[in-house]
Amino acid sequence: MPLEIVTIPCLSDNYSFLIHNASTGETAVVDVPDAAPISEALKSRGWTLSHVLLTHHHWDHIDGLPDLLKDHPAQVIGAKADAHRLPALDIAVSEGDPLIVCGEAVQVFDVSGHTIGHVAFYLADTGAVFTADSLMALGCGRLFEGSPAQMFESLTKLAGLPESTIVCSGHEYTESNARFALTVDPNNPDLLARVAAIREAREKGLATVPSLLSEEMATNPFLRGHDPALQRAVGMDGATAVDVFTEVRKRKDNF
């Protein structure tokens, strides 16, 4: 049975996620921007925290951890490559390391780009990937530490997952990402339809995260460098996908 996933808004525009196994009672949380909403979600459901999964070291993904662990002691898991700037880890992992969380095998991906050592966690049986600030809804994270080639490689890994995969990313940036996407892919009918749905959801105060990987493949310009229509739109007919990605990322940085 797939595990239950609960999306928890934190801070002004962050998301954390609970992962729960009803059979074993285990519950994991992915990233801890703020302890209070996570503690409330656990309390309201009567769940006990067993694992914490950290994607990267930025403050808005880890700063709530000390307060959360005071009331909810749990195993903390994060990237070995990032361990020197993460909170103390009980389990340090690298890409390809075996990992079991809440009774399910978890595949660890190195998705460096936004930061070096950023990881994503993929639960194949549940069909969900937790990408934080690597692959985002209609976007990807700004390259604070890595190169365009590194981020392109990271996104290519994620794009290879089944298109039915649920993408649990770290921020409510979708509406602003949509405005940019229209500037580089203005004639994409799938994008136009998605933008309308995003506007409607946000007007109702609804979250646009998680998203489906199939949606991202059809509409996210950072995954579409191979598409001749997008290449033409940015004046790069016949360019390599990584070069188109680099140009699109540059434009987003200046948007």
Under the banding of pLDDT at 50, 70 and 90, the label for residue 1 is confident
Residue 58 assigned to a binding site: yes
Mean pLDDT (the chain, rounded): 97
Percentage of the residues of the chain whose pLDDT score is greater than 90: 99
Query: Does 92 share its domain with 156?
Result: yes
Query: Does 32 share its domain with 155?
Result: yes
Instruction: Please give the biggest Cα pair distance in the chain.
Output: 56
The domain boundary residue, chosen from 148, 169, 190: 169
The domain in which residue 193 lies consists of: 174-253
Query: Does 154 share its domain with 182?
Result: no
The domain boundary residue, chosen from 169, 197, 212: 169
Query: Does 67 share its domain with 124?
Result: yes
Residue 72 assigned to a binding site: no
Tens of pLDDT, residues 126-160: 999 999 999 999 999 999 999 999 999 999 999 99
How many domains does the structure of the chain reveal?
Answer: 2
| pTM of the complete model | 0.97
The domain boundary residue, chosen from 169, 201, 222: 169
Query: Does 93 share its domain with 201?
Result: no
Q: How far is CA 21 from CA 18, 56, 128, 212, in A?
A: 10, 24, 14, 22
13 backbone dihedrals φ, ψ, rounded to 5°: -150, 20
Query: Does 226 share its domain with 112?
Result: no
Query: Does 118 share its domain with 11?
Result: yes
pLDDT of the residue at 21: 98
Tens of pLDDT, residues 205-214: 999 999 999 9
CA Rg value for the chain: 18
Residue 71 assigned to a binding site: no
Query: Does 42 share its domain with 105?
Result: yes
